[in-house]
Each structure stands twice: as structure tokens, then as C-alpha cells.
Amino acid sequence: MRDLRQHREALALNTATLGHRSPIEEVIDRCAEAGFGAIAPWRRDLDGRRPADVAARLRDRGLVVTGYCRSTYFTHASESERRAAIDDNARALDEAAELGAVSFVLVVGGVPEGLRDITAARQQAIDGVGALLERARAAGVSLAIEPIHPMGAAARAVVNTLAQALDWCDVLDPERAGGLGVMVDAYHVWWDPALETGITRACRDGRVLGYHVSDWLRETRDLVTDRGMMGDGVIELRRIRGLLEDAGYTGPVEVEIFSATDWWVRPEREVLQTCMSRLLDVC
């Protein structure tokens, strides 16, 4: 396994971890000062800014962009809403390209209100991702399907295991022509008995576009915004990184913590320092 102390470029921060409290310019500066070499901004961070200006600051501070977060949901009750989502995601892809992002992170959407048909929702999501693929390839930004913990199947994403996400990749990109893969988020996949098989397959097929870390708190109070700091929960983070790296993964290890009542209310510098020390010590 890599010694992450020797790999600044692999130490990544997803800006959601700081709770979107400060302007992106300050976040970029603090992130670089804390020793990170990579960052994953959200669309809301760019609100009212030119992506080229943000990209210039990132370059200046020596930060690379891992993934741009995140897609509008592809799943909707009506055809016109589904088309609008694809258009919106196409605009986000252009922003991602201007930022120099490696990937555009896809949280595909849950079961649309009034539908009660997860099979149909899954097909909508596959069709939506497929509709973006050529544009992504042309933009030089890969589409990263993020499987979401099954508790999020209704409201957030109907792709729920690594194997399922990889099956979608095979359907949409049978030739493995590139531009499509998966985002492996430890928080969403740690519980899966087939995780090892999935990681081996994903790496073999060249599909792993990134790796997110946080921790699963034993007593979780909110399905989205109660993630733990690495080391405070039950996920075997060293083991999962070991599986990825044994299978050939050499990309970033990205901290992504949604924590409305804890880390989002602590001073940003404390959060960044803790993230860095836990990245190096427990991930």
C-alpha cells in the first residue's frame, strides 16, 4: 500500500466536508495550506463565478480537481423533466471540463414521486447516463457513477452496489472505450459482502475513477448528513484502500464528510487538520 505521506497528489478534499460555509477561493487556499494536493468542488461553490477563474486559482495553489460534484437526478416522472436534467448535466460537464476535472460525479436519482417502479427508474438513470456519454468523452471528463447505500434508493439513487454500477458501465460502454466508470465511496459500499469482488472487477476493467472516505457511525441519526470522521466509526478503511491498491488503483483518497451537527459546525481549520491526520493515520 502507498505511504500517503509521499503522495500529496493523492490527498484530496471534497468541499462538502467543510459544509459550503466559505467562498471557494478561501476553501482552495486553506486546502492547499493544509497539505492537500487535490480537491473536489461542488457546483454550488461556483455560483456566480467563471469556472476559468476558479481553475486559475486552483492551478496557482497546485491543486488538481478530482471530481466535479454532482449531477442533477436523471429520474423523473415526465419526459420533459428527464430531458431538462440531461441538459443541466451537460452544462455541468462543460464546467467540469473548464475546471480540468477528471470526472463528473453522478448521483443518478431515486424513484420519482408517483412512480413506485424501481425498475423503470433504473432504466431512466441508465438512459440519462447514456445520453451524456459522448459529450463527456468529447469534453475529456469521465462520468463517475456513484453507487449509493440502499437506504438512499428511494430518494437519491437507484444504483446501490458496486456490481450494479459496473453492470451499467458494461451496458453503456461494452467496448470499454473510456469516459465511464464508478466512484467508490467507502460510506456507501463498506457493508457489501461482494465488495472485494466488485473492487477487483472494477480495477480490472479500468473503471475506478475515485475513492471517497468518511466513516459509518454505529448510531446513525440521519441518512445523508451524519457521516463520521475517518476512524470514528466501523468501516475498515485500511482494508478497503488495500483492496483497491492491490488491484492496481493509484488515484486519490478523497475525504467527503456530510456532518450537519458536528464537523460542519467546527472551525474549518480544525476540520482540515483532522481530515489530514486521519487520512494519514487511519485510511
Q: Could you list the residues that contact Zn ion (CB under 5 A)?
A: 185, 212, 256
Nearer to Zn ion, 182 or 276 (CB): 182
Instruction: Select 82 or 256, whichever has its Cβ closest to Zn ion.
Output: 256
Residues with Cβ within 8 Å of residue 115, at least 6 apart in sequence: 77, 121
Least CB distance from residue 160 to Zn ion, whole Å?
Answer: 14
- The values of phi and psi at residue 166, to 5°, are -70, -35
Q: DSSP assignment, residue 73?
A: P
Q: How far is the CB of 190 from Zn ion (least distance, A)?
A: 12
Closest distance of CB 185 from Zn ion, Å: 4
Nearer to Zn ion, 85 or 255 (CB): 255
Name the residue nearer to Zn ion (CB basis): 120 or 223. Answer: 223
Sheet holding 64-65, edge to edge: 64-65, 38-40, 11-14, 253-255, 208-213, 180-185, 142-145, 103-106, 67-68
Confirm if 95 and 55 have CB atoms less than 8 A apart: no
Smallest distance from the beta carbon of 254 to Zn ion, in angstroms?
Answer: 8
DSSP 175-188: T--SSEEEEEEHHH
- The C-alpha cell 439513487 sits at 157
Least Å distance, CB 256 to Zn ion, is 5
Instruction: Please identify, using beta-carbon distances, which residue of 54 and 209 lies nearer to Zn ion.
Output: 209
